[in-house]
Amino acid sequence: PSEKVAHFEKDVWSIFTPLAAETKAINLGQGFMNFNPPDFVQDAANGAISDVAANQYSHPKGRPRLRKALADSYSPLFGRELDPENEIIVTAGANEGMFATFAGFLDEGSEVICMEPFFDQYISNITMNGGVPVYVPLRAPAKAANENISSHEWKLDINELRSKITDKTRMIVINTPHNPIGKVFDEEELIEIGKVAEEHNLLILSDEVYDRLYYEPAKQVRIATLKDFWKRTITVGSGGKSFAATGWRVGWLIGPSELIQYSLAAHTRVVFCVNSPCQEALAIGLEKTNQIPYFQNQIEAYTKKRQILSSVFEELGLPYTVPDGSYFILVNTTKVQFPQDYPFPAVLDSRAKDFKLCYWLAKEIGVVAIPPSEFYSKENRELAADFARFAFCKSDDVLEDAVKALRKLA
């Protein structure tokens, strides 16, 4: 194998998603829904499957109807008239959009600033494209070991970020709402980051796949709309997160034509184009959101889900970070006792304690969570050893069942 992949450890999803199936545990691990996309999106998908043109290749930039729907939906949010011809491309999930952007902008040895914890795919996407991830931490206050905190209390030290910049730095990756913390960066924080990018002429890649999922009083602020940052920012979005269709693999990039042309160049040579009928269905879905308050209703539903799941951590006295966005709760598991001599599989040997706790939790408590040390560099893995990430993008009854199962920890 190539050295690019030979060093990969088995990824956390390939361990815990099969474990959920095998143990029949309630799966609050990988962030996917156990419910369908809304009826109007399902109907649109059924229609698209019988439409001759919608079953063939799309334009590499994406189907015109979807780019138009994205421009209509996002122009007001970006405070500018987005040009569907030149400022939006549809990608095979947000993930491929990011891969294509790394491919389009990194040379061998180019450095990319990533906040730690990070969504794990960034790192392999960077290294497969010759880049080098450089980490800067988001830190929780010390009291987080004993009490609940707001995700907003996780902070970036801007001087620390500045200290990581070298003449090889090309890009800063932002993730807001953040996976796994649920932090929604505020305007002031984004301006600080943007200014550093400006000072050093860096590209900003803003992963905003959970942009439609933020909870009062938090609000989604887009760095591309602040100051003069539009011209150096590519924003990443996700149809899967917005419409409960994570398996459709339809995402998008929004940014100035001078930048996204390079993502497009790489994207065209990686996948050429994206799953056409699903693009068509999401176009129709987005159009519909102009007539019905779909996103508002979804936020209300998720606010309730967050409440259902977090109630059990209250009961158990396990401190957690209250997410302002996304659908994850990061829980401090220090108080959970589990046998260290449990028959853990060898694949966990090299991993931090959180992998073992999550394995035991699946087997004995019947709930799957994700060990967040996957979201840290090897050097800093131990920082996550006493945490677990629970996803609440599940139907309320499943969340209630998870609550009952987790009570066994009392």
Binding residues for ligand GLN, rule: CB under 6 A, are 13, 30-31, 121, 179
Contact 309, 302 (CB under 8 A): no
Beta carbon of residue 20, minimum distance to ligand GLN (angstroms, whole number): 12
Beta carbon of residue 224, minimum distance to ligand GLN (angstroms, whole number): 21
Beta carbon of residue 371, minimum distance to ligand GLN (angstroms, whole number): 12
Beta carbon of residue 31, minimum distance to ligand GLN (angstroms, whole number): 3
Nearer to ligand GLN, 4 or 143 (CB): 4
Beta partners for residue 53, in sequence order:
none
**In whole angstroms, how far apart are CA 232 and each of 172, 256, 327, 336?**
10, 8, 28, 45
Nearer to ligand GLN, 124 or 298 (CB): 124
Beta carbon of residue 352, minimum distance to ligand GLN (angstroms, whole number): 18
Nearer to ligand GLN, 30 or 268 (CB): 30
- The pairing of strands 251-254 and 233-238 is antiparallel
Nearer to ligand GLN, 170 or 381 (CB): 381
In order, the DSSP letters of 1-38 are --HHHHTPPPPHHHHHHHHHHHHT-EE-SSS--SSPPP
Nearer to ligand GLN, 30 or 225 (CB): 30
What residue type is 143 in one-letter code? K
Beta carbon of residue 17, minimum distance to ligand GLN (angstroms, whole number): 8
Nearer to ligand GLN, 30 or 298 (CB): 30
CA angle 91/95/100 to nearest 5° reads 65
Tokens (6 digits) for 181: 């913390």
3-class DSSP assignment, residue 78: helix
3-class DSSP assignment, residue 112: strand
Residue with the closest Cβ to ligand GLN? Answer: 31
Largest distance between two CA atoms of the chain: 60
